[in-house]
């Protein structure tokens, strides 16, 4: 995992009183119970596009 992205995510989780381990556990648990990936993928002019290569493994 890219260290910069991990840092950015960690800051978001900390604002919610969570650590990365707990946030990942919540994500995996919700996925298991709902039998779908619990994220929304939108295409909107209001959203900032991901940088090129954002989802590629390095």
Domain tally for the chain?
A: 1
Distance CA 14, CA 56 (A): 26
Instruction: Please indicate whether residue 54 or residue 33 has the higher confidence score (pLDDT).
Output: 33
40 found inside a domain: no
pLDDT of residue 41 exceeding 70: no
Distance CA 6, CA 29 (A): 20
pLDDT of residue 24 exceeding 80: yes
pLDDT of residue 56: 72
Q: Residue 19 belongs to what domain range?
A: 7-34
Distance CA 23, CA 14 (A): 10
50 found inside a domain: no
* Section 53-57 average pLDDT: 72
29 found inside a domain: yes
57 found inside a domain: no
Distance CA 22, CA 26 (A): 6
């Amino acid at each position: 995992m890219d260290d910069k992205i991990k840092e950015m995510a960690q800051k978001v989780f900390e604002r919610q009183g969570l650590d990365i381990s707990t946030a990942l556990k919540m994500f995996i648990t919700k996925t298991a119970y709902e039998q779908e990936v619990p994220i929304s993928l939108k295409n909107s002019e209001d959203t900032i596009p991901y940088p090129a290569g954002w989802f590629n493994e390095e």
